[in-house]
Each structure stands twice: as C-alpha cells, then as structure tokens.
Structure 1
Amino acid sequence: MSKTAIVLGATGLTGGLLTELLIKDASFSKVKLFTRRPTEFSHEKVEEIICDLLDMNTFKDDFIGDVVFCCIGTTKAQTPDKEKYHAIDFGIPVNTAKLAKEKGITNYLVISSMGTSTNSPFFYVRTKGEMERDVLKVGIENTYILKPAFINGRPNEERKGEKIIKSMMSVLDVILIGPLKKWRSTQATEIAKAILQLALKPVDHSEIENIEIKELSKLYTIDSK
C-alpha cells in the first residue's frame, strides 16, 4: 500500500533531493511539504503546507501521514543567535516527533551529524546530541537518526567557508582509511537515498552512522510501478 510522506526542510539541499526521489517512487502516493515558503516542486503527488515550523498551531491539523522525514537544520553562520538556533535544530525535530507520536505516525527519520554529544562543551555539538536523545525518548516505533560527516554536493553558490572545507575534503577523503574512513564526506544524494531505504526497509537500530549511510544508499532502488 502506498504511503504519505511528510517532509520538513524540502527547500534545503538534502530535503530537496529526497523530495525528488519521493515524487518518482511509487511507494508513496502523496508527499506533503511543510515549509515556510513555496518550493519549486510542482507535481500531482505534492501538497505544500505553508506554515511556521516553530509554531505547531500553524500546521498540526495537517500533520497526517505515514512517514516523517526531518531534514531541517541550520548552521552557526546562518543562525548566530543561540536561542534561535536551539529552537530550530532542537525544537523542530523534538516537537514534530511528539506531534507524530500523537498522530499515530510510526516512522520518524531525522538528519543529524557525526560527533554529537550531550556532554560536549560546544553548544552546537551539544544541541544536536540533546536533540537526538529527546527524539528517541518520544518512543516512535521506527525512529532513525542519520549521522553523516561533512555533507558534500552543495551548489556553486555555497559560502566561502564551505568551499574551503569542500576542497580540503576532496583531499582528505583519499587519505582517510581504516578507522578514519568513517569521517569521509557524505554526498547529499547518499543521505537522501539512505533515508528512503530506511523508511521502506527498517533496521533494528536507531543511530545510522556515516559508513552505514553510504551502504544503505547503494541498496535503495526506486519503485517505479
């Protein structure tokens, strides 16, 4: 039976790539995009819900589906205000996970990052770790937290800092071998395919590390029936 997907963050790189796959995949009959601004997706399967993801009252009645894909995330450069950063990177995933549980949705998948820790002295790393912990606490049956390394595959208009890191990673990816292999950069397309593979074929653990993301992405094939 075809499913209804809920996508948070479809205007971002990974969320956009995921939406493209969902449109093509016959496993999903509807793709509901919860977004603060209109997207460029125009397809009979797509339904846009223009809302404020920081205020559940603007979208909770429409939050009905089978799978939630949370691709929301910001950076220190984009959101230097720590309170707002916390509201986005912690508040949106945790609050929508709670809403999904309330609505009876049994699949919740969220993109985080490698190296997170609730004990970290660094605010941004700690915030991600606290988000992961509290999303898992919600207790949704199939909860998956994807933890990629540096995400590659951004468009040419990326920020200067990201261009520098991208150049560095093109060299480092070659020499990161053995135990260090897990730190190789991750393509956004790999994350999009891996998160869909998990939604369609659950595994028995919740935290999906970088190497497993790459492996899962190779398993995903579009159901085009």
Structure 2
Amino acid sequence: MRSAIVVGGTGLVGNALVKLLCDSEEYVSVTVLSRRKLDFEHPKLTVKVRSFDQLEEEDIDFAHEVFCCLGTTMKKAKTREQFEKVDVEYPLHIASLAKKCGIMHFIMISAMGASEKSAFYYNKVKGKVERELIALDLPQLSIIRPSLLVGDRKEFRLGEKMGEWILKGLNPLFIGSLKKYRPIEADQLALAMKVIALFGKKSPVTIYESHQLAMMKMPEVKEEKVIPREQLFNWDKFKEQEAIPIDEEVVFNREKLREIKTKNELNK
C-alpha cells in the first residue's frame, strides 16, 4: 500500500488527481500541500495549508511519491518574478525537501514544448525548471508534458477556453505526428500520473509527452481461474481405484537394519 503527497491540489489537474488517489485501492494515505483549503474531504486525505515561501522539512511526511501540480498564469501572477516563483522556485524547493526526506519519486507537470530556447516565455520558463530539477539529481524524476488541458475549471479563462474550442474542432485533423497537439482531459492526465507512479519507467529521468499520456490506462488485472473443488480432489475416482497392498518387508527391511546396527557397533 502506498502514500502520496500532492502539491497544488486545488487546480484543475491537482483536484482530479487527489480524488483519484483517494478512491484508489493502491493508496492508503494522500497528503495535500496547499495554500488554501480544499472543498473535498475523504478519510484518507490530510490537507496541510501552508505558505510555499515557508515550507520546511517537517512539512513533508514520508511518501512514495510527490506529485507537483503547481502552476499559474501571467494574468494571475501579474509579474514575471511572481510567475517564476510559482512555476520554478516552489517546485525546486519542494523537490529538494522531498529528496532530503528520502522520497524516491518526484512527478511534475511541465508543458508541451518546454525548452529554454523557446521563443515563448511560458515554454522557456518550463524548460528552465526542467533543467534545474534534473540538476538536483533526484532518485527518480518524471516530467509530464501535456498539451492544452481541458476540463471544468473553477475559474473562467477566456484565452484557454477559446483555444479549447478551436483545438477540439480540429481534433480529427491531428493524426500521425500531429497527435501530440490534441487537447488532453484533466481526468486523463491525473490517471496517467497515477499509472506513471505505479508502473512507470524506473529511470532517473523520464519525460512523458502528451500523446503518451493520452494513451495511458491502468493495466487490466487478470482474474485467477477458480478450480472447482471436485476437480481438485475427485473422491469418486479415488474410491474406484484398488488399494495397493503395502509390503512390510519393502517398507521396513529388518535384515538391512540389523546389518547397519552391527557395522555401527564394530566402528565404535
């Protein structure tokens, strides 16, 4: 049985992931580090409301993996400095704490096209955090690169909503090498993150692209075939067989026993 820490459990993916893990048979404990309370309760769930500027080692409990779902927008952050604090500084600090606490797997949501060489500021920042996370030399790092995320957000984002409508309309055209540009549902991304935690590659660093994430699902558990009791022990067939008489001389050879006993006495 496993335990998990989810950082950023109030966002679109984080919220879906928390509910998925709590309903999962594989997890007995789910801890959320959040800047505000969740509107969700569960017997397995512990919510720690913390300022990410003041997170310390004692705030990180033991867990098998940390899922980092932190992310913001320029509209909310207002400045590049604040944007990079949320998307770069906080994930790096949490990953460092996780490593100190002996947590073996750090799973972080980045973005499709993340690269420090990108012409787009957003992708450049994501490329920066990826590079710095890799430099931390974590026991195991999984980088998640989804395309446009779709789902029921608590807040309305006009730009993302328009992009969602356009891309959904163009979805049938995204075939072959263009598949990676298809929007991905938040629930599917949460499922993919769980699959990666349980069955993903054990390499020190693994990057998962959006088209891979869209295809992931939990492996099917094969039901063990129940063998009927009468086939395990066929009493009727046993009764039909004739009992084989036991030859006492074969089972217990008295002459052989005397011979062994005599040799032992002579050797004393």
TM-score, normalisation: structure 2: 0.77
SS at match of 1:219: coil
2:238 alignment counterpart: none
Aligned pairs (5 A) from 1:172-191: 172-191=170-189
> Paired residue for 1:62?
59
> 1:219 and 2:231 equivalent?
no
In 2: Cα distance, 1:191 partner to 1:27 partner: 18
CA distance in 2, matches of 1:50, 1:80: 23
Q: Is the 8 A contact 1:74 1:89 kept in 2?
A: yes
Equivalent in the alignment of 1:165: 163
- Cα shift readout 1:24-82 (whole Å, capped 9, x = no counterpart): 1121111111111110121111111110113224xx30202221000010112221210
Query: 1:6-155 alignment to 2 at 5 Å?
Result: 6-57=5-56, 60-64=57-61, 65-155=63-153
Gaps of 5+ in 1: none
Measured after TM superposition, the shift of residue 141 of structure 1 is: 2.2
The structure-2 alpha-carbon separation of the partners of 1:156 and 1:90, relative to structure 1 and needing over 3 Å to count, comes to: closer
Counterpart for residue 197 of structure 2: 199
Partner of 2:224: none
Name the TM-score, length of structure 1 as normaliser. Answer: 0.91
Aligned-pair identity (%): 31
Match of 1:208 in 2: 208
Structure 2: gaps (5+ residues): 222-268
Q: What amino acid is the match of 1:37? A: R
Contact 1:6 1:67 in 2 (8 A): yes
Query: Greater relative contact order: 1 or 2 (C-alpha under 8 angstroms, separation 6 or more)?
Result: 1
Q: Where has structure 1 moved over 4 Å in runs of 4 or more?
A: none
What SS does the corresponding residue of 2:58 show, helix, strand or coil?
helix
Q: CA deviation at 1:158?
A: 2.0
For 2:58 and 2:113, locate their aligned partners in 1 and report how far apart those are by CA, in whole Å: 35
